[in-house]
Chain A
């Protein structure tokens, strides 16, 4: 079997992560500019080297039309050969990298910045009124507000409850995901919850948000920006940092009601991605899964085949996913304990691990990483297989 023509053709050459979390003073556009500038610096490239710009606008980009053009203007970029504003929710980041890689392989452009930014958190009020950090995600859809149905938390809760009902997934199973990821965050100085330990007891005692989700089942809504520079494998080898090669890619969007499928699009995205990469699960050293909720991690583990459908709970209950466990999963603490930049969070941690920049949390073997992106309520899905090794 001959290798897929896209295998290893493109690489991530630069990574830019702005300060994350309760960071104020600028809006989504400003964070995006900072992130791209930092990613260029990281790669040792100039603004003038960019000929492509892909933007995943966070919530506070709002209805700003043609966001990638707005960002181009804000950054003074000229003569781009690729520009798009993309939105598949949390699956966008990996999808942008796929789009960039395909366009580069086709010879239509050479160097693409892919960026996400958002600024949903407002500065603390002068009188100290408490504001929910997730307020931006607590929107209601039309008539559903009349029934008190608000927010993404509640939409996911309805699906998680079905999983618990059908498969016997327990509250502690969800909690074990949160606990394992916090242990990774405790080794990541950049994680927002780096200094806060979390035991299963702490998890059980934490307040409910929407049952079956406690506070620590939900991601850390964050202000900030995150960008990567995608270029050809050849160009990436001349960058300042070691290249992270794109070995495989795929997408899967199941349609229908997630409360029925109880599955992510990983069930169909994995096949083309693994086939292109020429790997099986056994070849994966580092796993960075989209973790808007603990529940999302359980489902995604099942869908990539780490365990059977419905057995995500017992799988994490064997404590195989924390530091020192069998599976290096969400090694920076993820969206639950580090920061929430939609699909950029898992990608950025994969880049850090593959480069060997993980410090105290660095996994001993870090040749191949599996990355997932997930948008909506298990509505959209994207997969990347990344490696520090050329294809």
Chain B
């Protein structure tokens, strides 16, 4: 920083519902997991208490490859929270994982203008605080 600036406020920490807690617990171990129905084995994300395919209540969290591609992108030009003011414009993406589920996230290590639908990506882990890690994605090398 060449100019002194007030420290921006911290970014909002996710409000983690009980259903989503295993996802963030796995992220702290740098593992990407999604929920899988214990009855019909359909994978789903974000977490739900009940499977929308078979209405089964049993579920487990299973690791996924972390590979996928950008399914859609929204480039945010307004800071809806002051913590993001210094980052606009930034991209929020939906990643379609190879396992068939989609995940809202960010793409890192890539200029915003280079993020396009179909971009092959792989998971990376952003250790935001000692307690919180956010799975994010980066362009997949060699893809």
Contacts and interface: CB of A to CB of B under 8 A. Distances in A.
Interface of A: 132, 135, 138, 140, 142-151, 154, 157-159, 161-162, 165, 207-211, 257, 259
A208 B12 contact: no
A145 B14 contact: yes
A162 B73 CA distance: 9
Contacts of B92: 147-149, 154, 158
Contact of A210 (B24, B71, B77, B134): B77
B80 interface: yes
Given A140-B80, A148-B106, A165-B117, A154 B20 contact: no
A208 B17 contact: no
Given A208-B77, A211-B77, A211-B89, A146 B71 contact: no
B72 A158 contact: yes
Contacts of A138: 78, 80
A276 B39 CA distance: 43
B: interface residue count bin: 35 or more
A112 to B, nearest CB: 35
A151 B117 contact: no
A151 B72 contact: no
B3 interface: no
A138 B20 CA distance: 22
Contact of B72 (A148, A150, A162): A162
Contact of B89 (A144, A151, A165, A208): A208
Contacts of B20: 142-143
Contacts of A151: 80
B11 interface: yes
A160 to B, nearest CB: 9
B83 to A, nearest CB: 8
Nearest to B78: A209
Nearest to B112: A211
Contacts, number: 96
A260 B132 CA distance: 31
A140 B12 CA distance: 10
Contacts of B89: 208, 211
Given A149-B104, A161-B72, A211-B89, A143 B80 contact: no
A158 B73 contact: yes
A159 B74 CA distance: 9
B117 A161 contact: yes
B94 interface: yes
Contacts of B73: 158, 161, 211
Contacts of B132: 146
A157 B72 CA distance: 9
Interface in B77-109: 77-78, 80-81, 84, 87, 89-90, 92, 94, 102, 104-106
Contact of A146 (B13, B76, B77): B13
B74 A211 contact: yes
Contacts of B75: 157, 208, 210-211
B16 interface: yes
A154 B89 CA distance: 13
Nearest to B16: A143
B7 interface: no
B23 to A, nearest CB: 8
| Among all A-B residue pairs, the 7 with the closest Cβ atoms | A143-B14, A150-B80, A211-B75, A157-B74, A208-B77, A146-B14, A138-B80
B2 interface: no
A152 to B, nearest CB: 11
Interface string B96-128: 000000101110000000000100000000001
B104 A144 contact: yes
Nearest to B15: A142
A132 B13 CA distance: 23
B113 to A, nearest CB: 10
29 contacts: A135-B80, A140-B80, A143-B16, A143-B24, A144-B104, A145-B15, A145-B81, A146-B11, A146-B13, A146-B14, A146-B128, A146-B132, A148-B81, A149-B92, A151-B80, A158-B72, A158-B92, A161-B73, A161-B74, A161-B117, A162-B117, A207-B77, A208-B77, A208-B89, A209-B78, A211-B75, A257-B102, A259-B72, A259-B94
